[in-house]
Amino acid sequence: MLKYNVCNEYDRLRLCAVGIPFDSYLVNGEWKTFFYPRLNQECVELVDILEDSAVSILNQHVVSYEEVKAFGNHASVYGCPQIFPRDSILIVCNEVYHLGGRTCILGFDMDVSMVSLRYDHTDEFSPSIPFLEGGDTILLDDIILCGLSQHSYHLSNRMGAEWLKDSCRLREVKTINMPEYYYHLDMCFSVVSNDLILCADSLILPSDFPDVEICRIPDSELSHGEINGLAISDGRYIVPAYNGNPSQTLIGILDDYGIDYSVIDFTRHMDLLGGIRCATVPFLRK
């Protein structure tokens, strides 16, 4: 059985899943799969950097309609994007949580025991239906920070956070309301290392937030998710750039703190409201 264990966002990354540039949908009653070459180019560059850092990649296969239908998730109606696997999966220590919004976990060749957030997909989205995505969960040493979207009902909501509070016994869950122009928490908040967090100017953190160095970045520099990076280890970080341009404030902070970083042009992913963190799921950090 696959080994998996993730206790925080910055321990040495050993095993990671990376999204694949495929999307599958029902079109006029027929299941169709689409391939995106430009997304693939960005994925290849990301995988190269991870493998150069001795990170093993957990491969996905393209999910079939039969798999999705058998699982019973609402993706059998709304589609099965595998570009951003972070949407679906949260690993807290040695427990796997399937977050109900997508079915990407079916694309992994793995046998795990997991807790699933499920609901009746025939209902309309509403605040009373639990919904949670991995991009709204940040795993710190002793808490899970859970972002609540103000943008629409079908993004992470308070009921989804309550489900996580009830389901997860290993960490305390703290919620945070995001400004309405951010879809997910990892589009305005990023853990770089044990003692450095990046945060959008407008994000108001809880009063009892852990005592760690927090560097603010102007919201004007984060309009495409330029903060949606990934820590490979404590002090090694991957930065997304939009049209070749990363946040200059972010780069300055990394330089000031002596962080070793790589920059990837991730424009096509960012146009789809995701980034490097969204396109990856750490399975093993130690």
Mean pLDDT in residue range 243-247: 98
Q: Which residue has the higher pLDDT, 13 or 77?
A: 13
d(C-alpha 87, C-alpha 81), whole Å: 10
Band of residue 213 on the pLDDT scale cut at 50, 70, 90? very high
CATH number of domain containing 196 = 3.75.10.10
Angle at the Cα of 162 from the Cα atoms of 173 and 76, rounded to 5 degrees: 115
Q: Is residue 8 part of a domain?
A: no
From 57-66, 221-230, 263-272, the region with the lowest mean pLDDT: 57-66
Q: Is residue 58 part of a domain?
A: yes
Q: How many CA atoms lie within 13 A of 192 on its CB side?
A: 29
**Domain of 99, in residue numbers:** 13-285
239, 264 in Cβ contact below 8 A? yes
pLDDT at 73 > cutoff 60 = no
pLDDT at 180 > cutoff 90 = no
Q: What share of the chain is helix, strand, coil (3-state, %, to 5)?
A: 25, 35, 45
d(C-alpha 58, C-alpha 29), whole Å: 31
Residue 164 tokens, joined: 């996580």
Q: How many CA atoms lie within 13 A of 176 on its CB side?
A: 27
pLDDT at 205 > cutoff 90 = yes
pLDDT at 143 > cutoff 90 = yes
d(C-alpha 219, C-alpha 104), whole Å: 31
pLDDT at 62 > cutoff 90 = no
Give residue 42's pLDDT.
Answer: 98
Number of domains in the chain: 1
The 10s digit of each residue's pLDDT in 144-167 is 999 998 876 667 888 889 999 999
Q: Which residue has the higher pLDDT, 61 or 202?
A: 202
Q: Is residue 274 part of a domain?
A: yes
Residue 29 tokens, joined: 């009653």
Q: Pick the closest to residue 275 from 214, 230, 234, 231 (CA basis).
A: 230
Band of residue 126 on the pLDDT scale cut at 50, 70, 90? low
Q: Is residue 126 part of a domain?
A: yes
Band of residue 276 on the pLDDT scale cut at 50, 70, 90? very high
Mean pLDDT in residue range 273-281: 95
96, 282 in Cβ contact below 8 A? no
Q: Is residue 245 part of a domain?
A: yes
Q: Is residue 7 part of a domain?
A: no
Q: Is residue 112 part of a domain?
A: yes
Mean pLDDT in residue range 26-39: 89
60 DSSP 8-state letter = B
Q: Is residue 209 part of a domain?
A: yes
Residue 284 tokens, joined: 């093993």
Band of residue 122 on the pLDDT scale cut at 50, 70, 90? very low
Q: Which residue has the higher pLDDT, 72 or 180?
A: 180
65, 46 in Cβ contact below 8 A? no
Tally DSSP H helices, then E strands, for the chain.
6, 17
Mean pLDDT in residue range 48-54: 97
